[in-house]
């Protein structure tokens, strides 16, 4: 009986070992089949390419194209903006004008603007020029002469400024009246008058201005030349008088 049982065990155990080995071999194959079945079908002929961004190059090209355009616009700006800032001189009473008419010596002459602001020329009735610039007076004379002359060529210049005067008196090198063609402050007038004398009271200088409510404006020379209280160094108006005690 014992021999029969041992014989039976020996007969079926090899078959169990064969079945176990077969099962072990099938499991990896099934895993491979499952992985293969779940793998995406990728076309090997198609390769991933990163698109090249050309926007910076296009922007750079656009900026290069715009740069000459901006420079051209800046160059093409009219120059009259600068010239407009320069104010023309306006003729006043007492100014000496020289009016020249080409090939007309009888009409060409120097005239003084009268206190009423008018002047007169041969062949032309008197007319007002006070408050006008030399260029405007030139056009006015040209228009009036067209009635008696063919294509008159007129030039008007201010020979002497007498209408805009400022005065300085007291302890300066050259006291007197000075014409004002361009804006002039107190220090500039003192320098034009030869500077202060050794006896000048530098702290008590003042400006007389009839058009101001406070017609006596103080000016401390020592402070202004040191850069202090420079608002005292005002622009002078026609008719102002600087007094240096």
Among 177, 87, 158, which Cα is nearest to 119's? 158
Residue 146 has pLDDT above 80, yes or no: yes
Mean pLDDT of the chain: 79
Residue 41 has pLDDT above 90, yes or no: no
Looking at domain 165-244, its CATH class is alpha beta
What is the reported pLDDT for 229?
92
Residue 226 has pLDDT above 90, yes or no: yes
Residue 46 has pLDDT above 60, yes or no: no
pLDDT band for position 87 (cuts 50, 70, 90): confident
What is the reported pLDDT for 35?
46
CB 91 within 8 A of CB 97: yes
Which CATH number is correct for 96-160, 3.30.70.360, 3.30.1950.10, 3.40.50.970, 3.40.50.2300? 3.30.1950.10
Helices (H), 47-183: 55-75, 80-85, 134-145
**Is the model more confident about 141 or about 16?**
141
Instruction: Name the token pair of 19.
Output: 């079945």
Q: Work out the angle at residue 66's Cα, subtended by the Cα atoms of residues 63 and 70, and round it to the nearest 5 degrees.
A: 130
Residue ranges per structural domain of the chain = 96-160, 165-244
pLDDT per position as a tens digit, 29-40: 444 444 444 444
**Is the model more confident about 215 or about 168?**
168
pTM, full prediction: 0.55
């Amino acid at each position: 009986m014992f021999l029969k049982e041992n014989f039976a065990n020996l007969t079926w155990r090899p078959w169990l070992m064969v079945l176990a080995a077969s099962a072990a071999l099938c499991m990896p194959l099934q895993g491979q089949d499952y992985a293969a079945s779940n793998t995406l079908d990728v076309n090997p002929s198609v390769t991933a390419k990163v698109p090249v961004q050309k926007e910076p190059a296009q922007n750079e090209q656009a900026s290069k194209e715009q740069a000459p355009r901006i420079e051209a616009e800046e160059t093409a700006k009219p120059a009259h903006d600068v010239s407009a800032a320069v104010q023309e001189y306006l003729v006043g009473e007492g100014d000496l004008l020289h009016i020249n008419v080409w090939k007309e010596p009888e009409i060409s002459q120097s005239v003084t603007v009268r206190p009423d602001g008018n002047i007169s020329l041969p062949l032309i009735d008197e007319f007002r020029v006070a408050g006008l610039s030399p260029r405007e007076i030139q056009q006015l004379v040209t228009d009036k002469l067209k009635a008696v002359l063919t294509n008159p060529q007129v030039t008007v210049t201010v020979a002497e400024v007498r209408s805009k005067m400022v005065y300085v008196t007291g302890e300066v090198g050259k006291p007197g009246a000075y014409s004002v063609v361009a804006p002039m402050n107190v220090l500039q007038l003192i320098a034009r008058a030869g500077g202060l004398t050794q006896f000048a009271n530098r702290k008590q200088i003042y400006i007389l201005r009839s058009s101001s409510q406070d017609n006596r404006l103080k000016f401390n020379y020592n402070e202004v030349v040191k850069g202090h209280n420079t608002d005292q160094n005002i622009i002078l108006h026609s008719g102002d008088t600087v007094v240096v005690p």
